[in-house]
Amino acid sequence: MKVAYVSTYLPQQCGIATYTDYLIHELQKVSRGLEIKVVAEKYAAPVNQKRFEVVPCWDRNGDYVEPIISNTQDADVVHIQHEYAIYGFDDRLPTLLDRLSAKRTIITIHCIRPGQFCERGEVDERFAKRIAELADEVIVHRDSQKAILRRLGIPAKKIHIIPHGTVLSNVDKEVSRKRLKLPEKGKIITAFGFVNTFKGLDVSLEVLREIRKEVEDAYLFIAGEVPPTAPKKARDYVKKLRKQIKELKLTENVIFRNKFFPNEEIPYIFGASDIALFTHYHEDRSVSGSIHLAIGAKKPVIAYRIPKFEVLKNICDELLILPNNVSGIAKTAVRIFEDKEFERYILERTERYRRATSWPVTVRKHLKLYKGL
């Protein structure tokens, strides 16, 4: 069987590219006879190996239908990794799916935006409905995503809930901190991912100030950069953050290098951490890949109580805090640092969840679906 993935791919700095890379590499381990081809956006690096190739051939700003069609002719299954920003809202993706009707097609819809929370009104959810109708099978990560598609009239038997995969890592804390030149002593709270205005890093700084009233040797490690395609307001946000760091007298306790960390550094980022903090704020029905990386490193996670982070309910609902509740986040972190029984409870449940959603488990569900087709 040959599966063609239509997706962004590495080294392109894109969460979907990283997701597809994890999926493919685990598939190669559990099904060595499977042939895999990535029909990638032009920023990917070409690969030509036995049973695995990457063909960078299309551009989201152009007519990507023809190059994708021509490079999926030899596939038995075409699996599209969908995110709104990649494919747009015009007729290109529906046209592609329509012209692939002779193939078996799967689309993973990573994000669904309810119309009432979208600046385009119901355009986003209507587009999700349209592409779900045209594909043979649809994968989503969560029940709430399936519920929206069901409301839009997509048959339940067509929708498959497959959790976002989790990379299991167990890198030593001391080794990690030395490698990343982080403080070898003290508590490190990590905010990981691209820097943007909706990431709430200004709130994270306020949280650090509160924590340091009880845990003086606490640090905030902002492990990320402004993405290359970010608007000017995101770069202005970095200036605002640096100013805030000085005003709060946190210069010695915030590590913010504004740099991109490649995938091979991620286990060390979370390996160095004591807590991972996610203060993003938006109404997308999606799942955070970053939160799964933190869980995979068996680290306590504290996050805003928003749809994107609801997977934390599977570990401990108390780790989900209302947005902008600086005191609540700080008190939860301090309790993790100081209450060993509470910390042990969280770590035991984190271990169970990370294994239940590990990539080997996740890819077997994909493989079952491919074979069914």
Distance CA(307)–CA(288), nearest Å, equals 10
pLDDT score of 173 more than 90: yes
Residue 159, φ and ψ in degrees, nearest 5 = -100, 130
Tens digit of each residue's pLDDT (9 = 90 or more) over 55-110 = 999 999 999 999 999 999 999 999 999 999 999 999 999 999 999 988 999 999 99
**Residue limits of CATH 3.40.50.2000 in the chain:** 2-162, 173-356
Compute the average pLDDT of residues 135-154: 97
- In this prediction, residue 49 has a pLDDT band, given cuts at 50, 70 and 90, of very high
Task: Characterize the bridge pairing of strands 320-321 and 301-304.
Answer: parallel
Average pLDDT, the chain: 95
Domain 173-356: give its CATH architecture: 3-Layer(aba) Sandwich (3.40)
- With beta carbons less than 8 A apart as the criterion, state whether 312 and 303 touch: yes
User: Residue 202 class from Cβ within 10 Å (0-12 exposed, 13-18 middle, 19+ buried)?
Assistant: middle
- With beta carbons less than 8 A apart as the criterion, state whether 66 and 32 touch: no
Residue whose pair of structure tokens reads 């890198």 in the numeric block = 171
Q: What percent of the chain has pLDDT over 70?
A: 100
What is 2-162's CATH number, 3.40.50.2000, 3.90.1660.10, 3.50.40.10, 3.20.20.10? 3.40.50.2000
Compute the average pLDDT of residues 328-340: 98
